[in-house]
Structure formats: structure tokens, C-alpha cells
Amino acid sequence: MANLKELASRKELLTGGHRMCPGCGAPIIVRQILLASKDPVVVVAATGCLEVSTTIFPYTAWNVPYLHNAFENAGATLSGVEAAYSAFKKKGKISQHVNFIAFGGDGGTYDIGLQSLSGALERGHDLLYVCYNNEAYMNTGVQRSGATPKGANTTTEPAGKVRQGKVEWRKDLTEIVAAHGIPYVAQSIAGNWADLTKKAEKAFSIRGPKFMNVLQPCRLGWGYKPEDTLNIARLAVESCVWPLYEVENGVYKVNSKPKAKKPAADFLKTQERFRHLFKPGNEQLLIEIQTEVDRRWEALVAKEPAVRTGA
Amino acid sequence: MNGKPGWRELAEGDVVPAGTAEQFETGDWRTERPTWHPERCIQCLLCWISCPDSAIVVKDQKMTGFNYHHCKGCGICAKECPVKPEKAITMGPER
Amino acid sequence: MAKVVARTGNEAMAEAMRQINPDVVAAYPITPATEIVMIFAKYVADGLVDTNYVAVESEHSAMSACVGAAAAGARVMTGTSSQGLALMYEILPIAAALRLPIVLSDVNRALSGPINIHCDHSDTMAARDFGWLQIFSENSQEAYDGLIQAVRIAEDPRVHLPAMVTTDGFIISHCLDKIELLEDSEVKEFIGPERKAPNSLLNLEKPVSIGLLDLQDYYFEHRLPVAEAMRGAKKVILEVADEFAKKFGRKYGLCEAYKLEDAEHVVVALGSTCGTAKVVVDELRSKGVRAGLLKIRVFRPFPGEEIAAALAKAKTVAVLDRSDSWSAQGGQVFTEVRSVMFDLPVKPKIINFIYGLGGREIDQGQIRQVYDCLQKVEKQPLVQYLGVRE
């Protein structure tokens, strides 16, 4: 695995001068994943914060070939790019290996783009799909998505007098993707460069479809100070709200098992979107959330192959 | 609108060469300004890998300062700086 | 040597695709276009083409993958119908704005609802403002020739726009017809060995960003060139048709004038209906009626001047629309034809018939009825529905 000095000697593939919010986690994820590639990269982005903010004509922050098509079709669009590459390779028009990467937000991945993603995975294209998951439609002003966690305040499922933000549990997209039986699936975060770049390197070393679901705190939609982006993501891991794990050829590996698991509330209370949960009367909701975090964590750990103990 | 290219002058399609955002200034968004204290810096590069704006200038694998043309002053670099008790990057108000 | 064979429209189009041998085909099955991709998939399975065939999970993904592949510099084709084309609608104008010469076979079928599988032109007509060239076919031969020509036209540097070539669902797509095939080598030579793209995602030496966000300051300047390229495409279509005629003997234009020189009563139509109309024109001519037909082959770019010139001497004109825009001013073809005739010094009387929706049969009797109406045109409403039960 490349250390920071090695990574720092590589070319910066996402320039500054993009229009993402100060402290946004998405460009951090993108920079780290691009830096992890030793081979040339071609990128397709789904419509979303990342796409609009990095490519306002005539300015593009991408130092790699880049295509935006629409919102729900990054998987299919990148399938087409990769299909053209395969056709050209067969004809001897190109020989160099290329890493094909799609970046989509949770809206473009969990919701409107799920079919396109699923198709691309099922067809076996050699590509990496990265979901920069900020758990709502941030680009259009913090509307709920299938990735929004229960209890979060969003503009389309706000906290009010009789409802406490999102009523439903978020869908587990990483597991849905893993059910496709593709060679590599991982969860990571903005805030652990070693975990993220290691997983990206591993993804690039595997042929076939790969998927990474990367939790990306959003200072605007989650409500916190911009400098806290990375440590809030780490809190999500330390509280087991967002476990770091990978599924390689069907084999689960949990990458980080906190010795002392922090309460989910430690993560929740750092953000405005959960503030109403700490008002008197919502104690039961906090318990429900903690119970669900525990249930999902235990279910995940149970998927790991049994470790042989000595003797 | 004046001074911008007419339709005949634009390249066909909706295409630009890579990396043109380099020329776009976002430094004027800053309300907080990072300062680097080289004497305290341990060259761990955590500020560099954590910057959302590719605004930590690294030369020969070493942190050398900020690109204030792009830095939006988010403060992640200062927050992530592991040096104790005093950090090698501190934030102060933008002048 | 030209080979004369019997082929359905779908078989003819699949055959043209085999000979074109595109780099990438991304397609999804839908009646009545399914056969095109089925036949083509067999060519892939038998190693008769070099194409990378992407069997996508929807038409939306088909067109999305086509855009990705074309942006990577590939020669790209697809095929669909009706709801499938409708599912592509979101991506069609993106393909045009990015100037990607994707070629699509559209087997015309009525848009739902109610759901229907048979021919009308509503699917193509609803796509008329998306920046795609639209070439209609009267029969399998025209579909075959049109598809081969479309590759050349779309990829011409003066055009660089996507193109759809249409056939009438079932009427052409599923009916055997005698057609003349070109040799594989002739097709290869005619279209050229590969597409030359000005930009490609796979040009790693010259990385570009494609598909940026345009705001108020650039969108307009990026859309106008699409209109300019579309207007300029008329010349290219005619040049390609001329070369095709010189090499292979079959002549095509933007429109086809059938017995128009001295015609008093003219029907304007698209697609397979023109074949039926020609029979009626001949029959009426034998009875002394100066009937004529104007077939519009290319609907986008719209051959407005050519239509106006062709109709200038007519006394009466009836436009047959196989789709409706659901308001009193008539079908899409009618409103556009009537508009270009506004500036004629002597305007023929022009009326509209909307017919054949959802595959409702159009026969010689109905077309005769249209010419009868033209002979007593003063009593006719502006728009009427032909063949519908009251």
C-alpha cells in the first residue's frame, strides 16, 4: 500500500478552484481514490454536488478524462465507456490499462440510479462505482434519500411537532450490492485515508465490477462546523453506525472493531440534523436507533468467517 | 456576458481541456485563514491528504505552504494536524 | 454484384448493422424492434461482427451506454420502439448537445396509453425537438439504405449529430419485401473504416471534460450550434445520397416527389403509407385526376424550402399525420408544412388528416377518400380524423 509520501509524489488529479462548500468531504474522497490509481483513470460522474461544483463551464477541476451524462445513469454511462475501451482493446487500438470510475451521490446511487448501477454490476463491466454518501439530496437542498438515516431532519421529511424527521430506516445499499456477487464491495469513510486508499488500490487490482460506499459528512446538510468533516465520519465508525468492512469474493471482513464501542448518540449529537432527537420525549427513539445500530453491527460481524482459535 | 466567446468560437460539444478550474479563484471565499508554522511541522502530510481543495502545496514530498488562490479556509488541515501541544497549522481571521 | 433477397424491415436493418460492424451496440428488446437486436446478438454470438454488444437492463441505460461509448470515440448503434424511445427521451438531447453521432433504428409504434404495439409515428414525432436527424423509410430497402447512409451523415464533421432511421412497426418491420443488399466490402468502403472523433475519453494524452454544467452564460451558445449543424445537415444528406446513387444506383433526397409536376391535388405523407398512396395516384391519374404525392423522407432536418417549392404549384394539399399533438391545429407534420407554405405567393388550400393511430389500417379506399376531399376542399375542416369510428 502506498504511504503518504508516495501518494504525494503522484500527480494531483482533482484541482482546486472547484465550487464545493468549504470543508466538503466529497472532494477529499475523490482526491484520495484518484491518487490511489497507478494507471490512467477515466471518470463518469452522476448529476449531484460533485458534478455541478467541479464542472461549471468553462472550468473543470478534473485532470483526468471526465464525462457527465445525467443523474440516474452513471453506471450505464460508464458501462458504455468501458465497452468502447474493450472494443478498442480487442482491435489493438489501445493497450494501456485504464481504471474506470463512476462517482455518484447517494441520491444518484441508492435511489434514482439503482437500476443503472445494478445492470452495470450484473453485466460484469470492469469498473469501480463509488458512492459518496452524504445521506440526502444535498445538491438540491437536503431532501431525504433512501440513504437518510432514521430520525434525520431533511427538507422533505422534516422534524416537526408530530414527526421526528425520517420515519424509515435507511436501506442497506452495500448489502444490496454485495448480493450481486461481484468481486469486491467495501464501505469506507472520508476521514480514514489509509482505509480508503487501500480499498481503492485493492479495487483497482481486481478485474470486474467493484463498489465502494463511502460515508461523506456534509457540513451543510448535517449541520456542523466545516473543520469537523473527518472526525465526524470517524465517530460514525467508532460508534458502529457506519462500519468499515469489505466483501471480497463473498468473504466478509470487518476492518475496524472498536474496543470500546461508542454510543450512537455520541455521533448523533455532533450534528444539527439530529438535534431534535435529544429533546425530552424522544428518549425512546434514541433507544430504537441504538438497538438498530447494534442489530446491524452484530449481523455484520456474524457474516465474517469464523476465526480458528489455536489448538 | 460581454467579453465571453460567441457560439462560433466555442469548441464543438460541451467540452473543455482538463484542469481549467486551476485558474478559478476560490480563495476569496475565505473568512478564516490557515497559517503554517514550519518549525512545529513534522511533515506527516495529513493536512495534504485531507484538504478538500487540493490547496496544500507539496514539493519533493514535503508540505511547503498553502495555495491561497484555492484555499477556502475550512480549517480541516488545522483540525487534522496531529502536532501537540501546539499545532503546526492554526486558523485565524482572514484579513 | 448486388444480391436480391427477401427481408423484413427488421432483418434488413440487422443486416445493415452487421455490415456497418459498429464498435458498440447497447440495446434492449421491445416489440416490434426486438428482432433487430435478436438477430444482431446472433451475429455477435457467431463472431460475424467485432461489436461489443452491451445487453443493458433498459432503454434508458441503452442510450446512456451509447453516450458513454460514443464519448469514448466509438462508432455506436442501438434500436428501439415507442416506450423504449420514450424512456430514452431524457438522454436523446444530451447525445445531440455532446455532438455524438449515435445511429438508432426506431421501429415506429404508438406511445402508450392505452398500451398498443402497432404502428404510428407518435414516438418519433415526440422526439423531433431533441436534435436528432430523423429519416423515415417507405419500405425495407429504404430502411437498409437509410441506416448505412445515416452513419456517414451523422459522422460527417459538418454534422456530428445523432440520427434515427425509422420503419413502420409491423407494416415494414415484419413484412417480407424484396431488397437489394450491398456487398460487405461496399458498405465498409462507403462508411469508412472507423469514426474520427474530435474528442475522446480514451485519448489519455489529451484529457478533456465532456458534459459540463452550463449556466445562463453558455447554454445558449452551446445549443445554437446544434441548430446550425442540423440546418447544414441537409447538404450533407444530399451529398451522401448522390454518392450512394452513383455507386449503388438507388436515388434518395430529403423528399420524394411522385407525379408532382402538374399535380393539382397533392397528398403529403411519411413512411409506408406512401407506397399505398402511389398506387392511388396512378389509379386517379388513369381517370384523369391530376393527383400527386410528396413523400417526406427526412423530417429532421426539416426540408422546409424543398417542401414549399414542391407544393407551390398545387391547388390543394392534404397532409397525412400518423400522430397527433392533441389540439386543433393538427398533427406535427401538418403544422410544419403549413408554416412553410405561409410565404408562398399563391397558397394552395391545405388540410390535415390524422390517421392510422395505434396501427389502424390505412388502405387505398381511405386515401382515395382524401383525394376526394381535396377535390371539394372548400367544404373540409382544417383537421379531420381518418378511419376512426364515430
Q: What is the arithmetic mean of pLDDT over C139-156? A: 98
Nearest to A9 among B18, B61, B73 (CB): B61
Query: Residue C259 is part of which domain span?
Result: 255-386
Does the residue A29 lie in any domain? yes
Q: Do C50 and A79 touch (CB under 8 A)?
A: no
C160 and B CB contact within 8 Å: yes
* Nine cell digits for residue A21: 462548500
Q: What is the arithmetic mean of pLDDT over B20-26? A: 98
Predicted pLDDT of residue A1: 86
Helical residues (DSSP H) of chain A, grouped into ranges: 4-8, 26-35, 49-54, 74-90, 106, 114-123, 173-178, 193-205, 229-238, 264-268, 283-303
Mean pLDDT, 10 residues at a time, over chain A (311 residues)? 95 98 98 98 98 98 98 98 98 97 98 98 98 97 98 97 96 98 98 98 98 98 98 98 98 96 98 98 97 98 81 49
Q: Do C57 and A118 touch (CB under 8 A)?
A: yes
Q: Cα separation of C241 and C358, whole Å?
A: 32
Residues C74 and C213 in one domain: yes
Q: A168: Cβ–Cβ under 8 A, 6 or more apart, which residues?
A: A150
Model confidence over C241-259: pLDDT tens digits?
A: 999 999 999 999 999 999 9
Nearest to C61 among A85, A94, A116 (CB): A116
Question: Is the pLDDT at C61 greater than 70, yes or no?
Answer: yes
Question: Is the pLDDT at C355 greater than 70, yes or no?
Answer: yes
Q: Using a CB-CB distance cutoff of 8 angstroms, which residues of chain B are in contact with residue C95?
A: none
Contacting C residues, span 183-212, partner chain B, CB-CB under 8 Å: 198-199, 206-212
**Do strands B32-36 and A66-68 pair parallel, antiparallel, or not at all (unpaired)?**
unpaired
* Nine cell digits for residue C382: 382544417
Q: Cα separation of C354 and A222, whole Å?
A: 56
Q: Do A85 and C72 touch (CB under 8 A)?
A: yes
| DSSP code for A221 | I
Strand partners, B84: none
Predicted pLDDT of residue C328: 78
Task: Name the closest residue on chain C to residue B15, using Cα atoms.
Answer: C210
Predicted pLDDT of residue C213: 98
Predicted model pTM:
0.97
Report percent pLDDT > 90 for chain C. Answer: 99
Predicted pLDDT of residue A308: 60
Could you give phi then psi for residue A121, rounded to 5 degrees?
Answer: -70, -45
Q: Do A4 and B49 touch (CB under 8 A)?
A: yes
Question: Is the pLDDT at C221 greater than 70, yes or no?
Answer: yes
Q: Using a CB-CB distance cutoff of 8 angstroms, which residues of chain C are in contact with residue B12?
A: 99, 160, 198, 225
What is the CATH number for C203?
A: 3.40.50.970
CA B72 to chain A, closest CA, distance in angstroms equals 6
Q: What is the arithmetic mean of pLDDT over C29-46? A: 98
Domain boundary among C201, C230, C248: C248
* Nine cell digits for residue C31: 416489440
Q: What is the arithmetic mean of pLDDT over C53-67? A: 98
**Do strands A184-189 and B62-66 pair parallel, antiparallel, or not at all (unpaired)?**
unpaired
Q: Cα separation of A73 and A51, whole Å?
A: 13
Which is nearest to A16 in space by CA: C388, C52, B58, C30? B58
Predicted pLDDT of residue A306: 85
* Chain mean pLDDT for chain C: 97
Q: How many CB atoms lie within 10 A of CB C319?
A: 29
Q: Cα separation of C29 and C26, whole Å?
A: 10
Predicted pLDDT of residue C8: 98
A41 and C CB contact within 8 Å: no
Predicted pLDDT of residue C1: 57
Most C CBs within 10 Å, among A54, A57, A126, to test the C interface: A57
Q: How many CB atoms lie within 10 A of CB C328?
A: 8
- Is the domain spanning B24-93 CATH 3.30.70.2190? The answer is no
Domain boundary among C248, C271, C296: C248
Q: C290: Cβ–Cβ under 8 A, 6 or more apart, which residues?
A: C262, C263, C264, C265
Q: Cα separation of A87 and A125, whole Å?
A: 12
Predicted pLDDT of residue A309: 59
Alpha carbon of residue A53 to chain centroid:
18
What ipTM was assigned to the predicted interfaces of this complex?
0.97
Query: Residue A35 is part of which domain span?
Result: 4-303
How many structural domains are present in chain C?
A: 2
A-C contacts (CB, under 8 Å): 167
Q: Do C202 and A88 touch (CB under 8 A)?
A: yes
Does the residue A308 lie in any domain? no
Model confidence over C65-106: pLDDT tens digits?
A: 999 999 999 999 999 999 999 999 999 999 999 999 999 999
Predicted pLDDT of residue A310: 54
Q: In what order do the strands lie in the sheet with C291-296?
A: C255-258, C291-296, C265-269, C316-321, C349-355, C383-386
Q: How many CB atoms lie within 10 A of CB C55?
A: 16
What is the CATH number for A162?
A: 3.40.50.970
- Is the pLDDT higher at B3 or at A25? A25
Q: Cα separation of A6 and A8, whole Å?
A: 5
Which is nearest to C128 in space by CA: C387, C297, C302, C277? C302
Predicted pLDDT of residue C192: 97
Domain boundary among C248, C265, C285: C248
* Nine cell digits for residue A98: 485504464
Residues C331 and C221 in one domain: no
What is the CATH number for C290?
A: 3.40.50.920
Which is nearest to C96 in space by CA: B12, A112, B53? B12
Confidence of residue B2 (pLDDT cuts 50, 70, 90): confident
| DSSP code for C42 | H
Predicted pLDDT of residue A166: 98
Residues C233 and C265 in one domain: no
Model confidence over B41-65: pLDDT tens digits?
A: 999 999 999 999 999 999 999 999 9
Does the residue A311 lie in any domain? no
